[in-house]
Structure 1
Amino acid sequence: MDDHDADPPASFFETLLSEAVGPYFFELDGTEVVIPVPSADAVCDLDIVASVHEQFAALVDDDDLVDEILEVFADRPVGAFVELVGEIRSHFGVLVPPDGGFLRVVETLDLYGEDIERDLIDLRLDLYDWVREHEDTPWSKLFRILERPPEGGWFEAALKSDIELAEQIAKRKKDSGEQQASPSRPPLVGWTRDRDTNTAILETLRRIEASIFQASPKIKGRGPKTPRNLLRPLTAQERYDKYRLYVEHDDIASKVLGSRYKRLSLPDPTDD
């Protein structure tokens, strides 16, 4: 068997549904009916189908079974069939889509599912709950977590190792004319006293290194400039103090110069 004959890799999303809940069982006129785990493509189709019958046909990949069930429910109230489809969707955790639809769920988990699951374990969360407890643990909550993944975690590493994603980002920046972003301050979350001390030590070592080069007769003044301090998190108190100082200077200039002074537009105190 050559590589072209090999089966494609299994969908992590489909594996998740199989392990978390498995097939859906219900009784129909005294007979037990089994609805297998839907394929990833079928779940994505839920984003584009409208009627409850189309949703049912997308989830049940068996035309004969679909026709058999629809025939039975044809003599029942419409609400009964709507309730059945809702129960099936809820069982498989595909009742309420997040922004971006179920396509976003499937693509994200198929690409990074294992890494996301490892990070969730470290956070004492279980990815199975997004299927089993879907109504209380919506997919939108998962994506809120992924927007700020654990620093140095598996998901963050997977994103930074994805060459196709890097290419897409570079192309998007080029098309939009986006400039290279300036270094941003580190977040307050995770900024401990030890981290602040280590930053101060690093700054001292950088200044010592620059001084050694500058004092070397071989360099003759062509050494590196004294490095600036590294960026630190900016607290709300520091922002307010900065804003208040700006206001005080503006008031003094206004009193000294009188009508000759044109007040400057004050900065937003929430700006860095």
Structure 2
Amino acid sequence: MADYKSIGDGSVRMKLSEATWTEIRDAEVDAALLPVGSTEQHGPHAPLGTDALTAEAVADAAAERWAGRETDRGGDAATDPDGGDLLVAPPVHVGVAEEHRAFDGTLWVSPDTFRAYVRETVESLAHHGLDRVVLVNGHGGNVEALAEVARRVSRDGSTNAYAVSFTWFEAVGEHASRMGHGGPLETAMLRHVAPELVRADRVAEARDGGTDRWGEWVRGVNLAHDSDEFTENGVVGDPNEGTAALGAELLERASEALCDVAGAVAERGFERHRGGR
């Protein structure tokens, strides 16, 4: 077994769950990444934890990419005050997912409960000086609530933090329109970062029992409130199109975009969000 190397020494990415409290105390952190997902159905071929798993994978990849950027410009998180890390916090595994309640194993909380939990988690980070936070989202049902949390945190002077929400599958260029649900993008990411979790023998079944469009639309209005109203097995899109090669591309694009966002967050002042100039 390899010797453990200290968090923040430039040799490993920073993960809060793997660090000691003294390592966090002594670390130079540019921004914290809080992966946020859901525990919900993703068809017969993909695990219930897909959203949290992919969000954390993007956050981890961004933290590694960030460390690489520091190395490329000669920085060292352990010795260079301008060469900090991105810290990856433990993921939020349950989100706003009542639309999938018809499928066994799906868990959800109300938007109010979700917003409160995420906000208080951000406040905990800020208490320790980790006051620049990117909410790294992997679930469409969380988007609205996370945007509200980010606004409230950033406007509230008592929190003394700044946050934004980043949804990984919106940051993959032309592939974003193929998102679906348990479809090509999520299946591709899983095949790249956790291939053992994809039930390969059920991918054809997933495709055949799914649909090609989210919702039931009339004149721009979605008549469906729950996913079982328009998809038999919970799938939207063709998971057969989700190759490991596509997953590698998605991870690269999303993590690069997240690094850019994190860099902007790290440099942004609080005062402009609180009525200051």
Q: Same fold (TM over 0.5)?
A: no
Q: TM-score with structure 2 length normalisation?
A: 0.26
**Whose helix proportion is higher, 1 or 2?**
1
Q: Which has the larger radius of gyration?
A: 1
Q: TM-score with structure 1 length normalisation?
A: 0.27
Higher RCO, Cα 8 Å, sep 6+:
2
